[in-house]
């Protein structure tokens, strides 16, 4: 009897009252060229809902025309179709600069702002390349000129090789 009551109640719910994704896809890989850079997005699972894509186990790779490669992996992420912004949670990755070597990073959160072509890192960020390590509460990486900054106070450790 109780099951019948809940079933009848659920039948009466309108679709606008239920938060149903438009589409759910597993093991997805998307390539897209943006301003000459090739972006590859991989996710174990992705859900599209109202213009926003929610992903789990998200990897983002950006191959630039000049040979630079940016790779970020995360536990989860959000891509907003309207503005092209990307937000990743629990992030690690590498920035391979064709002329200057490899910089590794970790952060609690990374947000790519498409308009400014800038990655903003928060909830703790660490950059390291084998000879130095810089960490602080927040930071950024400007894609256009390759500049990295740690803001909000930083700790830097230099290592002799």
Backbone angles phi, psi at 109, to 5 degrees: -150, 145
Q: What is the full DSSP assignment across 19-76?
A: ---SEEEEEEEEEEEETTEEEEEEEEEEEEETTEEEEEEEEEEEE-TTS-EEEEEEEE
Q: How far apart are CA 110 and CA 121, in angstroms?
A: 4
* Residue 161 in this model has a pLDDT that exceeds 90: no
| Within-domain flag for 121 | yes
| Within-domain flag for 133 | yes
| Within-domain flag for 79 | yes
| Within-domain flag for 6 | no
Contact 112, 118 (CB under 8 A): yes
* Residue 123 in this model has a pLDDT that exceeds 80: yes
| Within-domain flag for 9 | no
Give the pLDDT mean for 121-130: 90
* Residue 6 in this model has a pLDDT that exceeds 60: no
Question: CATH code at 118?
Answer: 2.60.450.10
**pTM for this entry:** 0.76
Under the banding of pLDDT at 50, 70 and 90, the label for residue 155 is: very high
Give the pLDDT mean for 8-15: 50
Around 100, how many Cα atoms within 13 Å sit in the side-chain half-sphere?
A: 13
Instruction: Compute the chain's Rg from CA coordinates.
Output: 20
Q: How many domains does the chain have?
A: 1
**The domain containing residue 129 runs over which residues?**
21-158
| Within-domain flag for 58 | yes
| Within-domain flag for 2 | no
pLDDT digits (tens, 9 = 90+) for 82-114: 888 889 999 898 877 766 778 888 999 999 998
Under the banding of pLDDT at 50, 70 and 90, the label for residue 16 is: low
| Within-domain flag for 16 | no
Give the pLDDT mean for 124-129: 90
């Amino acid at each position: 009897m109780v099951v019948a009551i809940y079933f009848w109640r659920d039948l009466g719910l309108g679709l606008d009252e239920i938060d149903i994704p438009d589409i759910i896809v597993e093991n997805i890989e998307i390539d897209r060229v943006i301003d000459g850079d090739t972006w590859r997005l991989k996710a174990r699972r992705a859900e599209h809902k109202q213009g926003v894509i929610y992903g789990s186990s998200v990897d983002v790779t950006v191959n630039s025309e000049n040979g630079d490669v940016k790779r970020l992996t995360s536990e989860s992420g959000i891509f907003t179709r309207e503005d092209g912004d990307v937000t990743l949670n629990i992030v690690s990755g590498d920035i391979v600069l064709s002329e200057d070597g490899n910089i590794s990073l970790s952060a609690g959160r990374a947000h790519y702002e498409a308009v400014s072509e800038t990655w903003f890192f928060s909830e703790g960020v660490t950059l390291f390349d084998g000879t130095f390590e810089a960490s602080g509460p927040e930071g950024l990486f400007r894609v256009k000129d390759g500049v990295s900054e740690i803001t909000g106070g930083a700790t830097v450790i230099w290592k002799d090789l």
